[in-house]
């Protein structure tokens, strides 16, 4: 899962990135208003962790921009501002949660997981699609009770497809989701093809139907009915 962390305190940002990467998240960062604005409008994220006091602008204005652009990312505000008005305004502008500073890293991680679960997985930890079962927080998947041995990247790819069932996910979106900023350095999508191929093979070898279909010239779609 890919996150955007908008935070201008270097020590706090380093701690958050280190902790969340250990929780298997792909983390991108922005330390100024301008950087955050550019990333929010150009890229897709499962969750944005947003500080309100930033060099160059106010995080609430970024929320307004997200609302105007109808971006689908969940937002957790983290701020040292103690005023209730800021909390209310942030929630009214579309933020999903508000975590005052200072906060515990495990609590931030738990709130991110809960937000993603609500937005993408119908509020449940266990996804069951046909013969496929996926325990999201435990990062385990099985087909008809048979455990799948997936790499971190394959599991993240599976979650992306499950969160977008029936919709075409472009190769570029998959590369960005799996690799974050590093995706811009790739000259081709060979790594995407390889990960999709390996995931499809492991699913079908375990007895699952061919859920993942290529949409020629565009990308891939996960559809149980097919």
pLDDT value of residue 184: 52
Number of domains in the chain: 2
pTM value? 0.69
Rounded Cα distance between 147 and 25, Å, is 22
15 and 95, same structural domain?
yes
Q: Give residue 225's pLDDT band: very low, low, confident or very high (50, 70, 90).
A: low
184 and 108, same structural domain?
no
Each residue's pLDDT tens digit, 54-69: 999 999 999 998 888 8
110 and 91, same structural domain?
yes
52 and 67, same structural domain?
yes
- CATH code (residue 80): 3.40.50.2300
Rounded Cα distance between 46 and 78, Å, is 16
pLDDT value of residue 120: 72
Residue 180, pLDDT > 80, answer no
6 and 111, same structural domain?
yes
Rounded Cα distance between 154 and 144, Å, is 19
pLDDT value of residue 77: 93
> Could you say which of 105, 120, 135 is where a domain stops?
120
93 and 18, same structural domain?
yes
Domain encompassing residue 98: 2-120
pLDDT value of residue 188: 67
């Amino acid at each position: 899962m890919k996150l955007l962390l908008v935070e201008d305190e270097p020590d706090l940002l380093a701690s958050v990135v280190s902790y969340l990467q250990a929780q298997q998240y792909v983390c991108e960062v922005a330390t100024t208003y301008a950087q955050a604005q550019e990333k929010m409008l150009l890229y897709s994220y499962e969750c944005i962790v947003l500080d309100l006091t930033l060099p160059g602008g106010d995080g609430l204005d970024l929320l307004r921009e997200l609302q105007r652009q109808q971006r689908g990312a969940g937002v957790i505000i983290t701020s040292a501002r103690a005023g209730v008005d800021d909390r209310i305004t942030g929630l009214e502008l579309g933020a999903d949660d508000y975590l005052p500073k200072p906060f515990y890293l495990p609590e931030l991680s738990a709130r991110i997981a809960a937000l993603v679960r609500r937005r993408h997985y119908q509020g449940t930890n266990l996804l069951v699609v046909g013969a496929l079962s996926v325990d999201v927080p435990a990062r385990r998947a099985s087909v008809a009770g048979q455990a799948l041995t997936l790499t971190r990247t394959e599991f993240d790819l599976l979650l992306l497809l499950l969160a977008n069932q029936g919709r075409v996910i472009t190769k570029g979106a998959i590369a960005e989701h799996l690799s974050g900023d590093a995706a811009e350095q790739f000259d081709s999508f060979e790594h995407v093809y390889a990960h999709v191929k390996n995931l499809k093979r492991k699913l079908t070898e375990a007895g699952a139907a061919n859920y993942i279909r290529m949409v020629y010239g565009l990308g891939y779609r996960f559809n149980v009915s097919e």
